[in-house]
Every structure is written in structure tokens, then in C-alpha cells.
Structure 1
Amino acid sequence: MAAVRRYDILDTPPDGAFDRVAAIAARLFDVPVASVTIVDADRIWFKAAHGLDGVREIGRDPGLCASAILTDDALVIPDTLTDPVACSNPLVTGPMGVRFYAAAPIVTADGHRLGTVNILDTKPRSITEADTATLTDLAMIVLDELELRLSALHRLREEQERRREQEEARERAEQDKAALASFASTLQRTLLPPALPAVPGLELACHYQTASPRQVGGDFYDVFPLGGGRWAFFLGDVCGKGAEAAAITSLTRYTLREAAHHHDDPAEVLAALNSALLLDPSVGSRYCTCVFGTLDPALGGGFTTVVATGGHPPIFHLTRGGDGMLRAAAVRPPGGMLVGAFEEARFASHTLHLAPGHGLLLYTDGLTEARRSDGSMLGEDGVAAFLISRTTSAATELVEDAVALISDLPGGVDDDVALLALSVPRTPGEQPAATATAHTAAAPMPCPDAARPAGSADPL
């Protein structure tokens, strides 16, 4: 019975291969009925039945198939009425009136008998040893078909199992990808200020775009008060991505905030960050680039701005010439070295007046490394050309236009992009013309609103 179950043949639909064996047996032996049967625990099930239309199974009564399955060789009953066991079988005593029966057992390679190939007639007859051998060969053909079918079933089930495993693996990968993107997005938000502050007399706007939703970037920025009406701002980029870069980004942000309250000179603030990164063993060989600046309200409006850079691309100071056209001057204090790379690193400061109508744009190298249609990088010259083509230095519009510039580049961006813009309205109380910019990513991230000068009305 275990062997019968192994072949998984019981109660399967008709199969042309087995039907042909029954039909060939009927023709070879010139009998009205031939069948291929499988013997179950309590029934004889017909896999193929030539001349027995509509018959699918009979009881496992002694006399015919039930007797043949117990023998190793073919069973031949020339006259069922003279056989003490077969004479009482329903096929003999019933309407069919079977008088002749012969069967060869279907025997597996390991010696298990599964069923029989049978021939039946309604009149007594005899067959030769050659006929018996032919019947045995037909039983062996049936076994071959069963083995082929079993092999195909195994391959099918293996393929189904493989597909199931692949589907489960794909679903797990999708879940892991979604979880990783969610984790990366959440972690990224902790590395950025939840909102830009409202600085009296100043408009602020920001933008953050990750190159991949599953990678935590190392770009960072912040604007915070120093007390006494003074403010500080910074923007930078930690070498690398992932959890280690995120840890260094967090260390960098909090170190800059703390150092800014102990050093008035932005260059000294970067020096303090340099020492902190070199002393922390978890930082390893990683470093960062950074721009740090302070804002002091100036008499007559605007701010006295002192900026220091450490290995970072230049910031752009937007002014308006006598002809009314915008000018974009690259601010690159000489001597600014990478932060966290060398013990004796030197940093330089530069002072400028952020007057009414002026603006500053800070950015990470994801902007300058964005690709044009010909594959070339946008570069600092491309950023400068973009800036002077504009008509306003307002921070919100500046960032929105920069985002549009990135989106329109056919080559896209290969690295994270962080933008921070500061601008002073041209006249006291002037309101920004636009609303907030947004943090964006492959998976959307919430963004702080652009900050307007304190006391100005919301244009909405």
C-alpha cells in the first residue's frame, strides 16, 4: 500500500498511455475486455478499462484481481466456473458472465505489486506461454509509464517548491527593502533639523534628496541661535553612506552646535570638529567637508556673515549689480582642508555683508556632480550659470529652481543633494513670494517649511 501511495496514481483522470495499453491488450488477445487496475486497500481501481464503459472501480473481492496481485507470475484462469475461488466473483456470477480471466502483476523494481494488466472474455479459452509473456511485458510497460509519471511529478513538485521558495524569498526581500527604506528614512530624519527656525529679517529654505531610499546619506545642515541676536548655520557631507556615516553625521552636527557656543570664529569651530573626529575611534578613516557660518544683524539692514570652509565646494553669494542683474560670486576662503583627515588641518574664514536683496546658496557635491545630457557634470560653472540666469535671490525660489534644475537634468543625480539657501528681503517687511520647499527622496520624506522673516505675514 505504501508503494501504491508513492506513485500517487489512485483517482487520477484518464491517461492516454494507459488507455493504449488496455486497447493493445484487447486487440492482441482478441478479447472484449482489457484493463489496467491498481489494487487499493479495499477496492480495485481501474486506471484504464477497455470494454467496461463507465466502470471506475469494484470491490476487492477474492477470485480475480485480488488473487492475481498475490502472485509473482501471471495468473491464467481458462474457465472461471471451474475455479473454486473465481467462480463466486461478481464479474463471473453477474451480468458480465466472465468465463476467462488472465492477469500479469505490475511489479516495482523493489518487488512491490501495485496492480494488474487484465484480459477477460465471456467464453472459456486458453493462452500460450508466449501470450502469457506478452501480458507480462504489457505490465512492465505500465510500470515504465508509472515511473515516468512519478519522475515528472517529482520534477513538477520540485519546480513548484522552488517557485514557492523564490516567491517567499522575493516577498521577504520586498519586505526587507520596505523596512530598510523606512528605517533609512526615519534615521535620515533624525540627522536633519525637524524645522528651520524663523530668523528675524532672513528667509531660509532647504531641500534634501537621497540618491537611494535604502541608503542613509551623510549630507547634513542646520540653522540655530547663538544668543544675543546672533545665528549660526552649517552644511556638509560625511564621507560614505550607511549606519557608520549616519553616526558620524550625528556626531558632527552636535559637535558643531556645541563648539559654536564656545568659539566666535567659524574657523575655530571647524578646528574643534576636526579634533573631535580624530579623537573618536569609531570614526576611523572617515572625514567630512563642511561650511560653517555665523550671522550678526548689521546696522542698516542685512547681516554680517562670517563663513569658514573645510574641503567643501564654494558657497555662492548672490548680489545685484548696477544694471539690476544678479551676480553669483563663489566664496572659497583659501586654505580650508578636509575635516577629520589631518591633525594639523587649517581652516580659513571669510567675511561678507549679506545685504538686503542678497542671498547665499550652500550645497553638497551631489549638485555639482549631477549629469547633463552629454554625460558631463554640471560643475561649479554650471551652478553659477544657473544662478545668474535667475531674476530673484529669494531663498525659497532659489531652492525650488535648483530642485527643478536637478529634475530636468536627463542624467539625474548619483549622490545625495542637500541645499540650504539664505536671503534678505530687499525692503524691510518684504514677504517671500513662495511657500515651503521640501525634503525629497526616492521614498518621500517630510520636510521643514521654508522659514520667513519673523513678523512677516503668511502669503497663504
Structure 2
Amino acid sequence: MSVKYHGLSEEYDDKRIKELRKYGILDTLPEQAYDDMTRLAAIICNAPIAIISLVDKDRQWFKSIKGLDAEETHRQHSFCSHAIVTPDQPFIVEDSRLDDRFKDNPLVTGAPNIVFYAGIPLKSENGYGLGSFCIIDTVPRHLSDEQIEALQILARQVMLLLEMRKKTAELDIKTEMLGMKLKKFDETVAQKVTEAMNKKK
């Protein structure tokens, strides 16, 4: 079984991406509820950059980003693509310049000069890592247990927003399908009534 990204098999990653796209969140406009989360994370951790990142097939796309002017980056260079490999635990790099996985990464050697990264995977109800709720700094850092716990709480709130979005979309589809069935039923009943009335004439 071929490995696609950082230990994820191609088969698993395809299922993960299919799960991500069920949420209908990619390429949507900014929303205050998500922006509030990244702003709060930046305050709690005293970090210049906070991001809600979703890892698509070949990119990481940012639903919310504080401290950077970007919408997405290539997945190949994404720290978050490492975080989703272990969706049940935080992924923390205290100094990327000393880490063989990242020291030559263009996001480390050039702008935005990532040195510290802490990401909490955004895990779906089915256990897939969809992306990461993360903070970034340009200097080495160490988070307290309380700060990590706060990031985990915020990540769970982000997933609640995403799950509500998905369920609302599913409900809309079911409602639309029901409406189409009712319309067809009404048309069938009307046709039968018309036929019955014509037979009586």
C-alpha cells in the first residue's frame, strides 16, 4: 500500500479527503465564529499567528487565519499535514530549525519563518484528521499544560461548528428531497383525480 503523505496510506487519505468534503467548508468566506476562535487562541498563547487549517488533497486551506495574509499553502510544506497523522494528540514542534523534518522547509527558511508550531488535530466523528487548529511563532516556545488544554477546547468548538454545518446541509438535502417527493405525490394524486373525473363523464 503506497504512502502518500507523512505516513498516511493513499487509500486512507482518499477516505479522509472524502470525509472532509462532506462538510462543504472548503473555499467558503470568512465567518466571525471561526475568527473569534483564532483570535482567542492567539491571546491565550501570546502567539502572533493562529490558524484553522483544513488539509485538502494537495493544499492546506485556511478557514480562519490571524497574523498572516494567506488563504492556503501547498500541502507538501504543511506542518498540519503532519498533525493529522495522529488525530488523537497534539503535534508540537518547539524549534523547527533543529528538526530534520522541517529545517529545510521553505516556510521555515523563508516567510513566515515558522520556528514554533503547536497544532491540535481537528478530528471528525469518524476519527479522520481533517486539519489542525494551530498557533505559530517565529521564536522557540514552550506551551504550558493549561495553554495546550485551552487549544484542545477551542479545537473541539471548531469541530462542533463544522459538525453543525454538515448536519444542517444534510437536513437541507433531506428537506429538498422530501419536497420533491411530496410534489410528485401531489402531481400523481391530481392526475388520478382528473382521470377518475373524466371516466365519470
TM-score by length of 2: 0.81
Mapped contact 1:98–1:122 kept (Cα < 8 A): yes
Matched with 1:22 is 38
Count the aligned residue pairs. 184
Matches within 5 A, 1:279-428: none
Matched with 1:49 is 65
Amino acid at match of 1:143: M
Matched with 2:48 is 32
Matched with 1:59 is 74
Post-superposition Cα deviations, 1:426-454, rounded to whole Å, max 9, x if no partner, equal: xxxxxxxxxxxxxxxxxxxxxxxxxxxxx
Using the alignment, how far apart are the partners of 1:63 and 1:115 within structure 2? 10
Using the alignment, how far apart are the partners of 1:159 and 1:63 within structure 2? 38
**Structure 1 unaligned spans of 5+:** 188-215, 218-460
Matched with 1:164 is 180
Amino acid at match of 1:89: N
| Shift in Å, 1:174 | 4.0
- Secondary structure, aligned partner of 1:98: coil
| Shift in Å, 1:109 | 3.4
2:160 to 144, 147, 150: 144
Mapped contact 2:77–2:106 kept (Cα < 8 A): no
- Runs of 4+ deviating beyond 6 Å: none
Amino acid at match of 1:67: H
Matched with 1:113 is 129
Mapped contact 1:64–1:89 kept (Cα < 8 A): no
| Shift in Å, 1:97 | 1.5
Using the alignment, how far apart are the partners of 1:36 and 1:45 within structure 2? 8
Matched with 2:90 is 74
TM-score by length of 1: 0.38
Matches within 5 A, 1:221-232: none
Structure 1 vs Structure 2 CA RMSD:
2.1
2:25 to 9, 27, 43: 9
**Structure 2 unaligned spans of 5+:** 1-15
Amino acid at match of 2:57: A
| Shift in Å, 1:7 | 2.5
| Shift in Å, 1:175 | 4.0
- Secondary structure, aligned partner of 1:119: strand
Amino acid at match of 1:65: C
Change (3 A) 1:178 1:16: farther
Give the helix-richer structure, 1 or 2: 2
Highest CA radius of gyration, 1 or 2? 1
Over the matched positions of the two proteins, sequence identity in percent amounts to 32
Amino acid at match of 2:152: T
- Secondary structure, aligned partner of 2:22: helix
Relative CO higher for 1 or 2, CA cutoff 8 Å, sep ≥ 6? 2
